[in-house]
Amino acid sequence: MCEQTKKVQSIIHKYDKAKGNLLSILLDIQEASGRNYVSQEHADIVACELGIPLSKVHDVLTFYAMFSTKPRGKHVIEICKSAPCYITKADAVVTMFEEALKINIGDTTQDNQFTLLYTSCVGACDIGPVAKIGDKIYGDLTKEKIQSIVVSYREVTECPK
Amino acid sequence: MHHTTDPNLMVNLKINGIPVTVPGGTLILDAAKKVGINIPTLCYHPDLKVRATCRICLVEFKGQKKLRTACSNEVWEGAEIITNSKIVRDTRRTVLELLLAEHKPDCLQCVRNTKCELQRLAKELSVEETSFISAGHSFEIEDQHPAIVRDPNKCIKCGRCVEVCQDVQQVSAINTAHRSAEFEIGTPYHQKLDQTTCVSCGQCIAVCPVGALYEKDDTGKVQTALDNPGIHVVVQIEPAIRVALAKEFDIMPGNITPGKMVTVLRRLGFNKVFDTRFMTDITSREAAYELFDRLCNNGVLPMLTSHCAGWINFMEKTYPEILNHLSTCKSPQQMFGAIAKTFYAEQSGISPEKIFVVSIMPCVAKKYEGARTEMSASGQRDVDAVLTTKELVKMIKHGYLDLAKLEESEFDDPLGISEDDMVICGSSGGVMEGAVRTVYTELTGYDLEQFDFEAIPDLEGAKEADINIAGQVLKVAIVDGLKNARVLMDQIKQGSSKYHMIEVMCCPIGCSNNVRQPFGTTAEIEAPIYQGHKSPAVLTLYGKFLGNPLGPKSQELLHTNYIPQYRK
Amino acid sequence: MSKIMQLISANCGKIPPGSVADYVQFGGYEALKKAFNMQPIAVIEEVKKAKLLGRGGAAYPAGSKWEQLFEIEHFPKYIVCNADEGEPGTFKDKLLLSQDPLRVIEGMTIAGYVFGSHDGYIYIRGEYRDIQRVFQTAIDNAAEAGFLGDNILGTEFSFRIHIMSGAGAYVCGENSALLNSIEGKAGRPRIKPPHLAEVGLFLMPTLVNNVESFANIPVITLLGGEQYLSYGTNDSGGTKLVCLSGHAKKRGVYEIPFGITLRDIIYDPELGGGITGDKNLKFVHLGGQSGPCGPAALLDTPYCYKAMRSNGLSVGSGAVVVMDETVCVIDYLKCVTEFFIHESCGKCTPCREGNKQIYHILCSLSDGQATKQDLQTLNKLTDTMTCASFCGLGQTASVALTTCLKHFKAEFEAHISRECPAGVCNFSKGRGE
Contact A116, A77 (CB under 8 A): yes
Chain B contact probe: residue of C190, C348, C382, C386 with most B CBs at under 10 A: C348
Going by pLDDT thresholds of 50, 70 and 90, the confidence category of residue B420 is: very low
- In whole angstroms, give the CA distance from residue A117 to residue A36: 13
Average pLDDT over residues C399-421: 97
Query: Global pTM?
Result: 0.94
Report pLDDT digits (tens) over B137-147.
899 999 999 99
pLDDT exceeds cutoff 80 at C29: yes
> Are the C-beta atoms of residues C286 and C319 closer than 8 Å to each other?
yes
* B10 in Cβ contact with B22 (< 8 Å): yes
Same domain flag for A135 and A110: yes
CA distance C170 to chain A (A): 8
- Give the pLDDT band of residue C411 (cuts 50, 70, 90): very high
State residue C59 phi and psi, 5-degree precision.
Answer: 60, 35
Q: pLDDT value at position B435? A: 85
What residues form DSSP beta bridges with B15?
B18, B81
Cβ-defined contact of B176 to A53 (cutoff 8 Å):
no
Residue B430 binned pLDDT confidence (cut-offs 50, 70, 90): confident
**Out of B252-256, C42-46, C311-315, least confident range:** B252-256
Residue that finishes a domain, picked among A17, A41, A63: A63
d(CA C78, nearest CA chain A) in Å: 15
| Assigned fold of C239-324 | Ubiquitin-like (UB roll) (3.10.20)
pLDDT tens digits, C124-181: 999 999 999 999 999 999 999 999 999 999 999 999 999 999 999 999 999 999 999 9
- SS3 readout for B433-453: HHHHHHHHHHHHCCCCCCCCC
In this predicted structure, the answer to whether residue C360 has a pLDDT above a threshold of 90 is: yes
Task: For residues A39 and A86, state if they share a domain.
Answer: no
Q: What percent of chain B has pLDDT over 70?
A: 91
Interface contact flag, A48 B568, Cβ < 8 Å: yes
The CA-atom distances, in angstroms, between B205 and each of B246, B390, B394, B528 are 20, 12, 17, 35
Q: What are phi and psi of C415, to 5 degrees?
A: -65, -30
Give percent of chain B above pLDDT 90. 69
**pLDDT at position B415:** 64
> Which pLDDT belongs to residue C192?
92
Mean pLDDT of A106-129: 96
Residue B516 is predicted with a pLDDT of 34
Query: In this structure, what are the phi and psi dihedrals at residue C295, rounded to the nearest 5 degrees?
Result: -80, 170
Q: At what angle do helices C101-115 and C211-223 cross, to 10 degrees?
A: 70
Q: For chain C, positions 394-413, list CB contacts with chain B under 8 A.
A: 395
Based on the domain organization, do A125 and A82 belong to the same domain?
A: yes
User: Within this chain, do residues A79 and A150 fall inside the same structural domain, yes or no?
Assistant: yes
- Predicted confidence at residue A71, as pLDDT, reads 97
CB B502 within 8 A of CB B474: no
In a domain, A69, yes or no: no
What average pLDDT does range B298-325 have in this prediction? 94
* E strand segments, B285-434: 303-304, 355-361, 385-388
pLDDT of residue A156: 67
Tell me, yes or no, whether A83 and A58 share the same domain.
no
Answer whether A82 sits within 8 Å of C335, measured CB to CB.
Answer: yes
What pLDDT is recorded for position C307?
Answer: 96
> What are the tens digits of pLDDT across the range C209-235?
999 999 999 999 999 999 999 999 999
Residue B254's SS3 state is helix
Sheet arrangement for strand B67-69: B18-23, B10-15, B80-82, B58-61, B67-69
Residues A93 and A26 in one domain: no
A14 half-sphere exposure, CB direction, 13 A CA radius: 13
Overall fold of domain C329-416: de novo design (two linked rop proteins) (1.20.1440)
Q: How many CB atoms lie within 10 A of CB B544?
A: 13
pLDDT above 90 (res C407): yes
Tally the C-alpha atoms within 13 A of residue C166's C-alpha that lie toward its C-beta.
30
Beta-carbon contacts of residue C170 (< 8 Å; ≥ 6 apart)? A120, A121, C84, C86, C87, C339, C343, C393
A101: helix, strand or coil? helix
Q: What is the mean pLDDT of chain B?
A: 88
Q: Quick one: what percent of chain C has pLDDT higher than 90?
A: 96
pLDDT for residue B567 = 54
**Minimal C-alpha gap between A88 and chain B (Å):** 26
Residue C208's φ and ψ, nearest 5 degrees, are -120, 120
User: Is C404 within 8 Å of C398 (Cβ atoms)?
Assistant: no
Confidence of residue B427 (pLDDT cuts 50, 70, 90): very low
Is C346 within 8 Å of B99 when comparing Cβ atoms? no
Residue B125, SS3 per DSSP: coil
Confidence of residue C72 (pLDDT cuts 50, 70, 90): very high
Query: Are A28 and A81 part of one and the same domain?
Result: no
Cα–Cα distance measured from residue C282 to residue C247, given in angstroms and rounded to the nearest whole number:
10
Is the domain of A95 the same as that of A36? no
State the average pLDDT over residues B200-228: 95
Q: What is the mean pLDDT of residues A37-45?
A: 97
Note the pLDDT of residue B425: 35
Q: What is the mean pLDDT of chain C?
A: 96
For residue B543, is it left (φ>0), alpha (ψ between -120 and 50) or beta? alpha
The residues near B93 (Cβ < 8 Å, ≥ 6 apart) are: B125, B127
Instruction: Please indicate whether, in this complex, the C-beta atoms of C166 and A23 are within 8 angstroms of each other.
Output: yes
| Alpha-carbon gap, residue C103 to C122, rounded angstroms | 13
Q: What is the pLDDT of residues C115-140, one digit of tens each?
A: 999 999 999 999 999 999 999 999 99
Residue C23: which of C140, C122, C101 has the closest Cα? C101
Give the confidence band of B566 by pLDDT, cuts at 50, 70, 90. Answer: low
Instruction: Give yes or no for a contact between C40 and C114, defined as CB atoms under 8 angstroms apart.
Output: yes
Asked whether the predicted pLDDT for residue A69 surpasses 80, the reply is: yes
Options 3.40.50.150, 3.30.1340.10, 3.30.479.30, 3.40.50.11540; which CATH number does C20-230 get? 3.40.50.11540
Domain boundaries, chain C: 20-230, 239-324, 329-416
Q: What is the pLDDT of residues B112-126, one digit of tens each?
A: 999 999 999 999 999
Contacts of B330 by beta carbon, 8 Å cutoff, 6+ apart: B283, B306, B307, B338, B375, B558, B559, B560
**For residue range B228-246, what is the model confidence (pLDDT) as tens digits?**
999 999 999 877 787 778 8
Asked if A52 and A103 sit in the same domain, the reply is no
Q: Which pLDDT value is given to residue B83?
A: 97
Instruction: Provide Rg for chain B, Cα atoms.
Output: 26
Which among A63, A91, A115 is the end of a domain? A63
- pLDDT level of residue B544 (50, 70, 90 thresholds): confident
Yes or no, beta carbons of B175 and A55 under 8 Å apart = yes
* Residues B498, A127: Cα–Cα separation, whole Å: 68
Please state whether C263 falls in left (phi above 0), alpha (psi between -120 and 50) or beta: alpha
**Do residues A79 and A141 share a domain?**
yes
User: Count of domains in chain A?
Assistant: 2
Nearest chain B residue to A40 by CA: give it: B189
Residue B416 has a pLDDT of: 56
Same domain flag for A84 and A144: yes
Mean pLDDT value of segment C58-84: 97
Q: What is the pLDDT of residue C1?
A: 60
Report the chain A residue with the minimal C-alpha distance to residue C250. Answer: A126
| A70 within some domain | no
Is the distance from CB of B241 to CB of B360 less than 8 angstroms? yes
Distance from CA of A102 to the nearest CA of C (A): 26
Q: Indicate the helix (H) or strand (E) that contains B277.
A: helix B276-296
Q: Is A68 a domain residue? A: no
CA dihedral C91, C93, C96, C97 (to 10 degrees): -110
What pLDDT, on the 0 to 100 scale, is given for residue B424? Answer: 35
Q: Helix H segments across B4-85?
A: 28-34
Query: For residues B474 and B465, what is the distance between their CA atoms, to the nearest angstrom?
Result: 8
pLDDT at B71: 97
- Answer whether residue B519 shows pLDDT above 50: no
Nearest residue in A to C322, CA atom: A84
Domain boundaries, position A90? 75-158
Whether residue B512 has pLDDT greater than 50: no
The 10 Å CB-count burial string (b at 16+, else e) for B178-197 is bbbbebbbbbbbebebbebb
> Domain check: are A58 and A29 in the same one?
yes
Q: Is the pLDDT of residue B450 over 90?
A: no
Nearest Cα neighbor of B429 from B368, B350, B515 is B515
Find chains touching chain A: ≥3 CB pairs under 8 Å: B, C
Residue at A107 is within a domain? yes
- Please give the domain boundaries of chain B with CATH numbers for all domains: 10-97 (3.10.20.740), 138-215 (3.30.70.20), 219-558 (3.40.50.1780)
Q: How far is CA B200 from the centre of its chain?
A: 10
